[in-house]
Amino acid sequence: MEIKLHNSLTRRTEPFSPISSGHVGMYSCGPTVYWFAHIGNMRAFLFSDVLRRVLEYNGLEVTLVMNVTDVGHLVGDVDDGEDKMIVAMLREGKSGYQIAEFYAQAFFADLSALNIKPAAVYPRATDHIQEQIEMVQALERKGFTYRTSDGIYFDTARLPSYGRLSGQKAEDKRAGARVDMAEKLNATDFALWKFSPEDMEREMEWESPWGIGFPGWHIECSAMSKKYLGLPFDIHTGGIDHIPVHHENELAQAMGADGVLEANVWMHNDFITVDGGRMAKSLGNIYTIANLVEKGFDPIAFRYFVLGSHYRSKLNFTWEAMEGAQNALNKLREIVREYPIVPSSDQVSPPHGEEGSGVVDAPYSTRFLSAVNEDLNTPAALAVVWDLVNDATVDDATKASTLLRFDEVLGLCLSDYLGRQIDVPVDVTELVAQREEARRSKNWAESDRLRDEIATRGFVVKDTPQGPKISLA
């Protein structure tokens, strides 16, 4: 079945076909490791993970590269403000490399908690200074660069295709925005190499043909994607904030240095807002995955929450919505516990998203595949999951096998729950029996007390027409 993806470059949802048959080269802009990643950042990485899983579900082999930015990303994305890493070094009194290592490890722990499949490689900017210098040299040879007192800049007016991604030409910006031009020739020009300030010693600085300094933020992604995927590659992803500056500039660098489109398809996730507004330090609403866990949420419930909206829609985070996601996930887990244990998904169906084994429900699988292949329509895919579990005409073993297949895309770790009845300790069973006794004698106070005691042991008791039912809290 055809996969359709929305390409920000053409502004259309188009059938996807990889450059080399059966294989997809994919690059996702990774984190700047100067602080903990917040839930908005995690949406970007969940989006890239779902994309990668959908491609694999369709039988394609994916090489995912995700950079780790540990130098050169300034507080303002357009060459202004302080270096984010230096801000962190001053805040924590540590070296840049220690900061980068600490937050990179925290980032990898978040990825794993969210069941995000690892990239093939996580290249770091500081390990690829030479590649970045070589790309700037190539741009210099082709006449795209000029020198100011603080660095080597890309002259965007020399590239006719500049502005293709954002639809914003240099002139538009100059007229509209209040941009500090400094010595730039055009408002959209950007730094390729920055000189170390004379009045400050930088720990992260390198020799270059132009003087001691450090690379600009955008050149990192162009140089490393070229090294690990070759140019052009298939798909480049990031958040929508990257469209007007970071990705426009990456395109410019590859076009200038190598005369090619860096990637054929550019895909962007929209933002997470909190309580309808921006996440900001001053508002105290920048949440991390660890903050969700502190409040008792399972990181996979955040994954479920993100899957509940299309990646190109804004997603508003509230604690109520998070609770809704956790409840829905818990319900799904309880349902699959009742199913029989079935062989793992690759044993029950062909791996190419085409059904027909008879073990997996074909109509539901087709609906699911159409949903995810239609520009990653995950809300529709979740609706298929619920329709399936609620369908009394499908037997539980088929439901189990089908859900395991779907979970290759959803990543909700359903196999950890499927067919696994919960183990209720004897003392909890006794408390439940005592509570039944209390209810029979209409001793409601005692029955409530026992329910609370059962809850402190991590179990919930529900009264059903068939008698009390115990589940995990």
The binding site for ligand AMP (CB under 6 A) comprises 29, 31-32, 40-41, 43-44, 238-239, 241-242, 269, 271-272, 279
* Between 280 and 422, CB nearer to ligand AMP: 280
Q: Contacting Zn ion (CB under 5 A), which of 5, 24, 26, 29?
A: 29
32 binds, among ligand AMP, Zn ion, none (CB under 5 to 8 A by kind): ligand AMP
Biggest alpha carbon distance in the chain? 90
Sheet strands (E) in 129-182 = 145-148, 151-154
How far apart are alpha carbons 23 and 344 in whole angstroms? 24
Query: What 8-state DSSP symbol labels residue 6?
Result: E
Question: Do residues 235 and 8 make contact, with C-beta atoms less than 8 angstroms apart?
Answer: no
215 binds, among Zn ion, ligand AMP, none (CB under 5 to 8 A by kind): none
Query: What 8-state DSSP symbol labels residue 126?
Result: G
Q: Shortest Cβ distance from residue 369 to ligand AMP (Å)?
A: 27
241 binds, among ligand AMP, Zn ion, none (CB under 5 to 8 A by kind): ligand AMP
* Between 32 and 137, CB nearer to ligand AMP: 32
* Between 23 and 314, CB nearer to ligand AMP: 314
- Characterize the bridge pairing of strands 12-15 and 23-28: unpaired
* Between 60 and 272, CB nearer to ligand AMP: 272
221 binds, among Zn ion, ligand AMP, none (CB under 5 to 8 A by kind): Zn ion
Residue labelled with tokens 């100067």 = 34
Phi, psi for 417 (deg, rounded to 5): -115, -25
* Between 29 and 450, CB nearer to Zn ion: 29
Q: Shortest Cβ distance from residue 235 to ligand AMP (Å)?
A: 14
Phi, psi for 146 (deg, rounded to 5): -150, 165
H helix and E strand count, the chain: 16, 16
271 binds, among Zn ion, ligand AMP, none (CB under 5 to 8 A by kind): ligand AMP
Helices (H), 203-350: 217-229, 248-258, 289-294, 299-307, 319-337, 345-348
Question: Do residues 176 and 261 make contact, with C-beta atoms less than 8 angstroms apart?
Answer: no
Q: Shortest Cβ distance from residue 277 to ligand AMP (Å)?
A: 11
Find the residue with minimal CB distance to ligand AMP: 239
Q: Edge to edge, what strands does the sheet with 151-154 contain? A: 145-148, 151-154, 190-195, 213-215
Question: Do residues 398 and 408 make contact, with C-beta atoms less than 8 angstroms apart?
Answer: no
How far apart are alpha carbons 380 and 107 in whole angstroms? 29
The residue count for binding Zn ion (CB under 5 A) is 2
Helices 217-229 and 129-141 pack at an angle, to 10 degrees, of 100
* Between 151 and 238, CB nearer to ligand AMP: 238
* Between 110 and 234, CB nearer to ligand AMP: 110
How far apart are alpha carbons 55 and 63 in whole angstroms? 11
Q: Shortest Cβ distance from residue 220 to Zn ion (Å)?
A: 7
* Between 181 and 290, CB nearer to ligand AMP: 290
How far apart are alpha carbons 101 and 113 in whole angstroms? 18
* Between 40 and 216, CB nearer to ligand AMP: 40
44 binds, among ligand AMP, Zn ion, none (CB under 5 to 8 A by kind): ligand AMP
Q: Shortest Cβ distance from residue 320 to ligand AMP (Å)?
A: 19
239 binds, among Zn ion, ligand AMP, none (CB under 5 to 8 A by kind): ligand AMP
Query: What 8-state DSSP symbol labels residue 63?
Result: E
CA dihedral in degrees (303, 305, 310, 311; nearest 10)? Answer: -50
Q: Shortest Cβ distance from residue 270 to ligand AMP (Å)?
A: 7
Site string for Zn ion, 198-237 (x = CB under 5 A): -----------------------x----------------
Q: Shortest Cβ distance from residue 14 to Zn ion (Å)?
A: 23
Interface residues toward Zn ion, by CB under 5 A: 29, 221
